[in-house]
């Protein structure tokens, strides 16, 4: 079955608004964690809570750099040595730019990227945008699972919760 989306820009806008909202909620839930809690890791997740959040930000920066055709240098990417406040600031900056790119990129736009074996490849920009959403969701889920294991109520990040919060105001 194929579904035709009449307004692709609005669809991507909504997806990225939820993505931004979810990032904010996860970072806010972690800002008051102590060092030991931030270092908590669980089997089946990327790494510790802090390492996972740093990875989420670093990957978003890399996705953005692919989309805006800027060479990504590893020394400029987010890392787990940064404070949680700095990581939150960086993810917010990146989120705002990703939203701009998502709503201004034509569906047929192709971008170049460096493959895992350091070759250059091309793919549709929309795939990079969708990967940013998927990747963020995956690692936010890791963090919320670890928060739950620490007996800390994780934020609810569903589209239902997002919709209810947006329509309540």
Is the separation of the CB atoms in 54 and 79 below 8 Å?
yes
pLDDT tens across 25-78, in order? Answer: 999 999 999 999 999 999 999 999 999 999 999 999 999 999 998 665 556 778
Is the separation of the CB atoms in 12 and 103 below 8 Å?
yes
- Angle (deg, nearest 10), helices 125-149 and 84-104: 150
Encode 104-146 in three state secondary structure.
HCCCCCEEEEECCCCCEEEEEHHHHHHHHHHHHHHHHHHHHHH
From CA 58, how far away is CA 64, in angstroms rounded? Answer: 10
Is the separation of the CB atoms in 18 and 162 below 8 Å?
yes
pLDDT tens across 105-123, in order? Answer: 888 899 988 877 888 889 9
Task: Write down how long the chain is.
Answer: 169
SS3 category, 41: coil
Is the separation of the CB atoms in 60 and 91 below 8 Å?
yes
pLDDT at 1: 40
Is the separation of the CB atoms in 26 and 157 below 8 Å?
yes
């Amino acid at each position: 079955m194929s579904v035709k989306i009449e307004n692709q820009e609005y669809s991507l806008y909504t997806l990225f608004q939820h993505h931004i909202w979810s990032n904010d909620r996860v970072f806010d839930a972690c800002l008051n964690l102590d060092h030991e809690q931030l270092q908590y890791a669980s089997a089946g997740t990327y790494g510790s809570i802090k390492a996972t959040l740093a990875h989420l930000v670093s990957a978003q920066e890399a996705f953005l750099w692919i989309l805006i055709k800027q060479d990504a240098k590893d020394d400029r990417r987010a890392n787990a040595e940064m404070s949680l406040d700095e990581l939150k600031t960086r993810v917010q900056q990146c989120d705002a730019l990703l939203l701009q790119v998502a709503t201004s990129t034509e569906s047929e736009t192709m971008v170049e990227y460096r493959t895992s074996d350091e070759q250059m490849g091309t793919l549709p920009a929309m795939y990079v945008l969708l990967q940013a959403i998927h990747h963020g969701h995956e690692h936010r889920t890791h963090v919320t699972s670890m928060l739950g294991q620490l007996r800390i109520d994780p934020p609810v990040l569903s589209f239902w919760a997002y919709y209810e919060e947006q329509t309540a105001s």
